[in-house]
Structure 1
Amino acid sequence: MQSPNLFQRISRRALGQILLDGKFVSKRALNQAIREQKTTHELLGGALVRMGVLKPEDLAAPLLIQQHLSHIEDAVKLAAGDRQLLGALLVQSGKITMQQLDEAIAEQKRTGERLGEVFTRLGMLSEQQLKGLLDWQQNQGSPTSTPLRLGELLIATGHITRSQLERALARQSQTGKKLGDVLVAEGYLRRSEVNRAVRLQKMCVNAVVAAIMAMGMSSAASAASVSLQWDPSTDATVVGYKVYYETDSTAVPFQGAIPVDVQNITSATIANLDPSHSYSFAITAYNAAGEESSYSNVLTVAEMQAPTTAITYPSNSSTVAGTVSVTADATDNVGVTKVEFYVNGALAATVPTSPYVYSWNTGALAPGSYTLTTKAYDAAGNIGQSQGVTVNVANDLSAPSVSLTSPANNMTVSGSVSIAANATDNVGVSRVEFYLNNSLLTATNMAPYTYAWDSRTVPNGVYTVTAKAYDAAGNLGQSQVLTINVSNDLIAPSVSLTSPLSGATLTGTVTVSASASDNVGVSKVEFYRNNVLQATVATAPYSYSWTTTSVANGSYTLTAKAYDAAGNVAQSQNSTVTVSNDTTAPTVAITSPATGAVVSGTINVTVNATDNVGVSKVEYYLSGKLIATSSVAPFSSSWNTTTVTDGGYTLTAKAYDAAGNVAQSSNTSVTVSNGTTATTAGKSGTVKKK
């Protein structure tokens, strides 16, 4: 059996990368599936389906396009669709931003170059990427059928058959409608299925765009296929051969493997391999009766997916000095065996296990710019390299200066206290630390250097505050010592409801009152009804007016809360009251004199008034003018008719209840006649009937 050289040379877009580029899955879900693969040894798609991230039919389209991404020409043919301009394609793919596109267009106007030439000159595109995108742009709109066309995707995902598609295409040519509308009208699909297929089509196009952008970039090749060749069997009864292969296993017999029957050919190319797995291959020979020989020797091809690595500290363009902990992340689909750290391209350290940290002593280096990179290796020998991080080495022997600017020395503080410092250095301050009684409170590396300290976390008393400032070289500067007196009020106020009393029945407008006191002072009292804030009173007396007619009759719970300036709060007892508002007006009628009566002298005007709760008063009116009021039954009032001139008058009465409801009687018309029949003052009058 010959070594599979093609396995090392042919590049193919990995399924996981296609799923990411098309936004079929998230990076987090993909990483989880890859981790589970290490245990289950299943295919990536199977792991994603088992996890519930994808449905089986969701894999059909990504697998369909995967086999077309070996070469940039295949990707260009695959991506036929609506025509787009080159700049828009680059922005859509995420290769450049709109700002970079504007800059490139401005540069094009200045130099007269083609836009693509500007992109390559500025390093935004490789020559191969530019060729692929220009070919794609030129070939878009071609009627040639590709797996990304809507009909082909629907067939691939099992929604329609080939014959249904052909009938729908014929119908489309007659009606001029969109293919999706025809498929719905013919009853082949629901509208929701068509909409989902259109979204799938867009995701596939995104994956192809990303593949075109990736081609021509420097990266480790990934396996797509392996070519096998073996010597023919010397057994004359042999009529053919079968190729067995399995992922991540060298044991024979292969468990569950389905062989590829190549008949009497002594070579084979196995395609559609996942470069993130290792593969083992073996050959058997069989005779006309179907009897198979034992396995040949087993050929194992290592997985081809390189690790990923990145420097996480220090950051790009930062200034460092002294001994610096250079840290890196490194991940691999199988496992990272080591990480190498490089300074200006020279190997500086090798770390075999996580955490990947290299202590870089810059003390002996000349000040200036240095580039840090890492390389990560896996057991198969695949190598991933980080992007370079450029830092400025500035060895520094001068300590920073730092002084506390707040609080003031000997200040009495309470509650939240702002601690602030001013710090400077000849190179740069890396961090400032704040201390209380020499115990670290907090540290910050961002100016302005401030900290909001809650002084209520410590007992009242005298404390010292200091600050320390560090630079990147580890030089330390210390501030002056400030003394502060912490005096926090930790005693809550006392509060109680004084009115209305619990159990009271309320009607109309009532005053809700509370008494509150505090060792320092009450800042406010809040009044609640059924736990809903109704009023806030800042000064004594603490009360508010409640118009009970604004609520329904029923039971209510009243409470009060008192606060002091330190934020301490106390709650009163509950007061349960009943609102019973009277909305029924009294009834009222004048019973004497009768309407039409002729009166003289002093007479009694009597009234009959009743109410469902109680009559509070009755008012007597003479031709609209109030002449008397009575508040107890029987309701009667004396009227001296001699105080008015003879003539006709109208008597009316109004009755009130405690809720303020009022009712008015019917008019009673009388005639005053005090001529020769009028009595002398002090004698009773008469009522004459006409």
Structure 2
Amino acid sequence: ITITSPGSDSVVSGVVPVEVSYSDNVGVVSVDLYVNGQHYGQSTQEPFTFSLDTTVMDDGHNTLSAVALDAAGNQGSSGIAVSVNNGTTTDESTGDTPIISIASPVGGKVSGTIPIEFSYSNEAAIVSVDLYINDQLLGKNTQAPFNFTFDTTTVSDGSYTLTAHAFDEAGNKGVSANVSVTVQNAAADSTDKEAPIVTVASPSPGAEVSGTTRVEFETFDHVGIVRVELYANDVHVGSSTNAPFSIDWDTTQSVNGYGYLQAKAFDAAGNKGVSFYRNVTVNNSETATPADTQAPTINIASPASGTVSGTIPVNFNFSDNVGVVSVDLYVNGQLLGNNTQAPFNFTLDTTTVADGSYTLTAHAFDEAGNKGVSANVSVTVQNAAADSTDKEAPIVTVASPSPGAEVSGTTRVDFETFDHVGIVRVELYANDVHVGSSTNAPFSIDWDTTQSVNGYGYLQAKAFDAAGNKGVSFYRNVTVNNSETATPADTQAPTINIASPASGTVSGTIPVNFNSTDNVGVISVDLYVNGQLLGKNTQAPFNFTFDTTTVSDGSYTLTAHAFDEAGNKGVSANVTVTVQNAVAESTDKEAPIVTVASPSPGAEVSGTTRVEFETFDHVGIVRVELYANDVHVGSSTNAPFSIDWDTTQSVNGYGYLQAYAYDAAGNKGVSFYRNITVSNVSASDTTAPVISSFNLNDGMTLKSNTVINVSANDDQGVSQIALSIDGNTVMLSDNESLNYLLNVSTARKKKTPLHTIAVAASDRAGNTTKKSVNVYYK
């Protein structure tokens, strides 16, 4: 491609046409025009002409660049310089020569792709920088801070000299001192062929940004990442070479309005991983909302400092002037995990680490990227020293609120507990959802009932001792009532339109993004291609990727359906695209990106479970493989790549999934692990559990306080043991043992001289064994 009008170095003013000449062995599908490195517009219709409004440009030296793409994604470009003269320039050149020096690298050995950055005497006066390697022009950058990247794998190992030329508006040139580097890629790990994984962690999708915004990343590589680069609207805006890889992005150098971020991560072997796009809105206008500079506050509510064992919950108290959007938990300065779902709780399995002292720290982030750091909490993990002979589970009951009580707001829940060694933690569950923990006797928990649904419900407590034994209370029925008046029915449908792609020619794997609104809120979006459902997304901003290499070349119609909580549906206008993938990309070296979309983290699965994925590749993905606990369990070669996993072929209990995605060039991308729990019952299970011990016999006389001990076993596992006294269920246990403290002095008030105590042990298939005895109280 060549820019034929205006001519190179010509003087222009007002609105001028930009015309190009072009050729391609198959055909050009689009041309993008850049002004001083900023995207000005795109044309998808021949002859690919533009109208350039020079009145929005500064008078003086400016550069125009045209980038042509064919259907296979091959790119050609050319550029010219023009002088804008609209009579708006009042400054005159001082004639001073710019001063520039190369800030990095500083010399020495280099490998892979390295950033090249500069220091200036007056950056505001500089309009462009040229970089030379061994006196050969590598490239020109007209976008401050004028940084470059140098892919050393494209040259032979040896010595190279870097030199920078800086130009000001008047054409004065400053030349840097030379920097000598030695390229040494031969010693790089030649066996490392796997690309890193990188995602933009903040700002959040759709966030409005202004000024200098901190951009943070989540990264993974099986060897190690050496650099992360950030691109805004495909323009390089910063690099980070130090974990945890954050970059301060000067948004004032980007145009106001809708835009997108993308991160690229590099390992020491030169492998490159590319993130999904993160949509943002840049707003640096005078009427922009003042930047939020107030950091959240956070403290660790539980555990308190002290000794812990087994699996413990980690909960927080937090606040922010706008709102907390995520919390990171660190153990001894190492990131344990990130939670973006309020109330941002974690569970810490202390059995996976050695006994000893550990420091917990929480980092809370708001929408603007401000970070608050909690005070440290020091805990001592002590699993090895636990009483190995202690096999008896604690006893716990919900003491208050009373049975059938109506509760609202924040309600204090109290417990009665007993253990012959000692209880270290009590957890409270409302309708089987964890709502609080207490690690200090007498174990009371303030339950925020507004987080539970109105109406009939139930509470259950679980008590843990130092040896990890767990006791489960019987259910306590309550009624939650936090409503003053019923909410009017929502009958308003969402509105949605397809923001990208626009109608035109597409190829490879393309992102499909939306603009959607609703009076209450959109909860899911379905994407249809030619009237056939491509997929459903329940995670805002509900974006999809469409792998066009999985369909034949031709015309396709995209339609989106948006749903709100009430089931109202909004339908977008159609967008028609033409798929043209006839020319394959033979130089594809970039690995795909893949994540496990469902089942959700921590989900319990059984039978045949559908596993779905989110995928991205700039050319196209041809296959996704699924591994359960590192064992291959299935493959999919058709987008949107879902696999029906037969979980009965995997062992019951905690496990994890991982996906591998492959493109046509053989590049492989690996997902993060997705933790799940497998819970299957044999369809042929007809064997009932065996009650192996029950410490009561017919005719016994029970004196004082008596602990009732029951244990059972089953070839498929015991799901529940129920204890009843005189026909009333007093306790349920969800493991293979039950311990209940019978207060004989209280029970003796009943006039019946003979009492029936019965136990029933059940497995997951519903097989049940019962045993009962008749006893006397004294």
- Shorter-chain TM-score above 0.5: no
Larger Rg: 1
- TM-score normalised over the length of structure 1: 0.23
Name the structure with the higher helix share.
Answer: 1
Name the structure with the higher strand share.
Answer: 2
